[in-house]
Structure 1
Amino acid sequence: MSNLQLSLIALGVVLILLVLLFNWWQEQRVQNKMRNRFPEPEQDPLLSAEPIHTHTGSLREEPAFGLPDEDPAFETDVAVASIKQAHDEETVDEVCEGVIDLHFASAVPGARLLAQIQSYRQAGSKSIRYFAETADGYHRARLNPNESYTSLQMAVVLANRQGPLNEIEWSQALVMADKLAHVFDASTESPNADALLKRAQSLDELCANLDTQVGLTLKLQGTQPVAAIVDIIRRMSFVEYGNDFAWCNEDGVPRFLLLLGNEPGQGVRSAGVDHIGLLLDVPRSPADEHSFGRMLGVAKELAVALKAQLVDDSGRPVMDGAEVAIDRKLVELYDELDKQGIPAGSSRALLVFS
């Protein structure tokens, strides 16, 4: 090998070393700049017990593949923390409700559960209420779509003004529970049917002896426009209450209802009526030693405003002083309701006198 060849080889090696040295120098320069701009943490964040704080504006959102966030159909059975870290106060009323318990194999999203039970609110003429336990152990009287639940209670009222719970109605409730159990992979528990129906019969007999309604009627001078009557009764402090008009106490609880014609106030479809009714539903109204006298006083004011004749349930003019004797009788009834554990105006009374 000639001297020229050796010289070229040596020169090439030197050039390669120079290039490598230059690249190393460039790399070190870049790394130093990066360290100056983004200093390394003293501890590895993956090993730290402290949370990693990020700027909310720089959060990266993963692609959702077109699935809507709010659509319950796409929710999975994952336990969700309770919205409220406390128990709801309202519970099943063991005195007037029969209960079917459902225990889910895994937590069920509230949105899915609510969607499923919407059509399961009545068994025949008997209303059904629902109570649940959240995935983290809180009792709920009102289900929330943003919570998840591990158990459910179906509470079927045992008696109401349509009579006691019967075998057909209880069977309907059991079928509803079985359907829920199938959808959500749940086990069910229910009380003995014969014993439950006997309880329903006893409760119905008790309530039948306590059920009292007292009415007054205002006979108008011919058929009067409903719109004009409604305007007057609103000026006299009657308020809309569900489908009715009601005279309420200071807490907004109805003392008595107003009926236009023979229908609840909001149910009237005709252009006019020729009479108005006032109804004191004793078990459903708050106890008051002057309950009838109070209604009679309002009725007299209405009679003047509408130029109407005031009569009692039998169609006879109301005698002066009649309210004293009637109120005395009603006070005795309020006392008996208390004694039987169904206080007038209570949630229990509203259930069984519906």
Structure 2
Amino acid sequence: MSKLQMGLILVGSLFVAGMLAFNWWQQRNYRRKTESLFERHDDVLLDDFKPAARPAERVEHEIVDFEEVEEAVEILPEPEIPAEPVAVHVKKEVPPVIQEKPAFVDAEIDYIAEMQTSDLIGAEEIADIFRKKFDFGKKLSVYGLNVDSVCWEEPHARPKYRNFKIALQLVDRSGVISLARLSEFRDLIVGVAAGMDAEAICPDINEAHARAVLLDKFCAEVDMLIGINVISKGEESFAGTKIRGLAEAAGFRLEADGTFKYFDDHGNHLFTLCNHEPAVFLPDGIRHLSTHGITLLLDVPRTATGKQAFDQMIVLARNFSNTLGGVIVDDKRQHLNDAGFDKIRKLLQDIRVKMETRQIAPGGERALRLFS
């Protein structure tokens, strides 16, 4: 080994020894400083522990300056105190309620076709349906499901619909729709849907027509008008002005069709007063009109309170008869007495039971459509 190598080893050994001595001296000074800082603090773990009463108010802790010991003491982070549980009110997203069908579409009396498309469209894209709305001889209704309100409505020009329901009424007072007309309607819907790349859903027209025929037959069985006639005696006649005065005093209202109509407090039409002869009661001509009779008419399937309305008719007929000097007769000009009135009341009750059994309430929405 050369002298140079031995000198380097000696210098390195002395340097290491010096560093060790310096570290020992530095650690000894740090220990003294630390012990002197903590001499004035009680050891709460070794001393007798006496629980203190809970302070009424929050006590602020003393702040200790650790600058003198920051090199000697490892500062540990304060333990995290678990926070009180906080109730978080999360607003749940309530999915919109989608109506299965429009309010004025009735699967019992309508043939309902559907169209579904992936694109938003407006009324203009289905204009062919509106143009042929009156070609089928029955009421036709078109509804679109608004994507914003999620409600069925009559379509507007603004494109906001992907689903449509088109309903064609099958039966009304004029009878049942023909199978040929129903076929034309089905073909119209299929064609319009194909033109805008939509899906058409059309029920079987033969099944729908067969069901409509049975419904029409039932409606014919219960479609009845009950009339009470007040006719003059002999060759005498009733003056139009006197009839109008009595009718309006009793609560009737002269309508544009030349008849007097009686309504309840809710605006529901109960019965009608009309001329027993062909002439009608027009506002301008009634002062010159005279007639040999008047008729009170009750539209049975369209009246919700059949028997009560009929009893009101009897009272009014008697008032008209007494005032005008007439007699009360039926359509065969036979005198009507209490026994005859009782038979009519029983007939009204029988019709009501039949209609309600078929879920067609007299005076209800379904009845008003079928008997229109």
Between Structure 1 and Structure 2, how many residues are aligned? 268
Q: CA deviation at 1:254?
A: 1.3
Q: Distance in 1 between matches of 2:238 and 2:266?
A: 34
Q: CA deviation at 1:104?
A: 4.9
Q: The residue matched to 2:139 in structure 1 has which SS?
A: strand
Tell me which residue corresponds to 1:194: 206
Matched-pair contact (CA < 8 Å) for 1:258–1:265: no
User: Which residue identity is paired with 1:190?
Assistant: C
Name the Cα RMSD after superposition.
3.7
**Aligned partner of 2:318 among 274, 296, 300:** 300
**Aligned partner of 2:136 among 123, 144, 157:** 123
User: Which residue identity is paired with 2:250?
Assistant: M
Q: Which 10-residue stretch deviates more, 252-261 or 241-250?
A: 241-250
**Aligned partner of 2:120 among 107, 112, 117:** 107
Tell me which residue corresponds to 2:217: 205
Tell me which residue corresponds to 1:32: none
Q: CA deviation at 1:178?
A: 5.5
Q: CA deviation at 1:241?
A: 6.4
Matched-pair contact (CA < 8 Å) for 1:121–1:129: no
Tell me which residue corresponds to 1:341: 359
- CA distance change for structure 1 residues 234 and 175 in 2, over 3 Å: closer, same or farther? farther
Tell me which residue corresponds to 1:327: 345
Tell me which residue corresponds to 1:13: none
**Max radius of gyration: which structure?**
2
Q: Distance in 2 between matches of 1:86 and 1:343?
A: 27
Identity %: 20
**Structure 2 length-normalised TM:** 0.60
Q: Which 10-residue stretch deviates more, 258-267 or 156-165?
A: 258-267
Matched, 1:95 2:108: yes
Q: How does 1:92-171 map to 2 (within 5 A)?
A: 92-104=105-117, 106-109=119-122, 117=130, 120-121=133-134, 123-124=136-137, 126-136=138-148, 138-140=150-152, 142=154, 148-171=160-183
- CA distance change for structure 1 residues 108 and 269 in 2, over 3 Å: closer, same or farther? farther
Q: Which 10-residue stretch deviates more, 111-120 or 132-141?
A: 111-120
Tell me which residue corresponds to 2:368: 350
**Aligned partner of 1:285 among 283, 289, 303:** 303
Deviations 1:148-173 (A, max 9, x none): 43332222222222222211321343
Q: Distance in 2 between matches of 1:290 and 1:277?
A: 18
- CA distance change for structure 1 residues 278 and 114 in 2, over 3 Å: closer, same or farther? farther
Q: Distance in 2 between matches of 1:114 and 1:231?
A: 50
Q: CA deviation at 1:208?
A: 2.1
- CA distance change for structure 1 residues 162 and 285 in 2, over 3 Å: closer, same or farther? same
Structure 2 unaligned blocks of 5 or more: 1-96
**Aligned partner of 1:237 among 234, 247, 251:** 251
User: Which residue identity is paired with 1:294?
Assistant: Q
- CA distance change for structure 1 residues 315 and 148 in 2, over 3 Å: closer, same or farther? farther
Q: CA deviation at 1:133?
A: 0.9
- CA distance change for structure 1 residues 293 and 321 in 2, over 3 Å: closer, same or farther? farther
User: Which residue identity is paired with 1:100?
Assistant: A
Deviations 1:177-204 (A, max 9, x none): 3575578665432111111111111111
Q: The residue matched to 2:237 in structure 1 has which SS?
A: strand
Structure 1 unaligned blocks of 5 or more: 1-84
Q: The residue matched to 2:142 in structure 1 has which SS?
A: strand
**Aligned partner of 2:271 among 256, 262, 276:** 256
Q: Distance in 2 between matches of 1:273 and 1:172?
A: 50
Matched-pair contact (CA < 8 Å) for 1:110–1:148: no
Q: Distance in 1 between matches of 2:285 and 2:135?
A: 27
- CA distance change for structure 1 residues 102 and 247 in 2, over 3 Å: closer, same or farther? same
Q: How does 1:38-77 map to 2 (within 5 A)?
A: none
User: Which residue identity is paired with 1:94?
Assistant: A
Q: Which 10-residue stretch deviates more, 294-303 or 228-237?
A: 228-237
Q: CA deviation at 1:246?
A: 2.1
Q: Which 10-residue stretch deviates more, 229-238 or 294-303?
A: 229-238
- CA distance change for structure 1 residues 190 and 289 in 2, over 3 Å: closer, same or farther? same
Deviations 1:247-302 (A, max 9, x none): 22222111212233447767998963623322111111003443322212122223
Q: The residue matched to 2:304 in structure 1 has which SS?
A: coil
**Aligned partner of 2:289 among 272, 276, 286:** 272
- CA distance change for structure 1 residues 231 and 102 in 2, over 3 Å: closer, same or farther? farther
Q: Distance in 2 between matches of 1:138 and 1:96?
A: 25
Q: Distance in 1 between matches of 2:269 and 2:155?
A: 27
User: Which residue identity is paired with 1:219?
Assistant: I
Tell me which residue corresponds to 2:25: none
Q: CA deviation at 1:144?
A: 6.0
Matched-pair contact (CA < 8 Å) for 1:254–1:285: yes
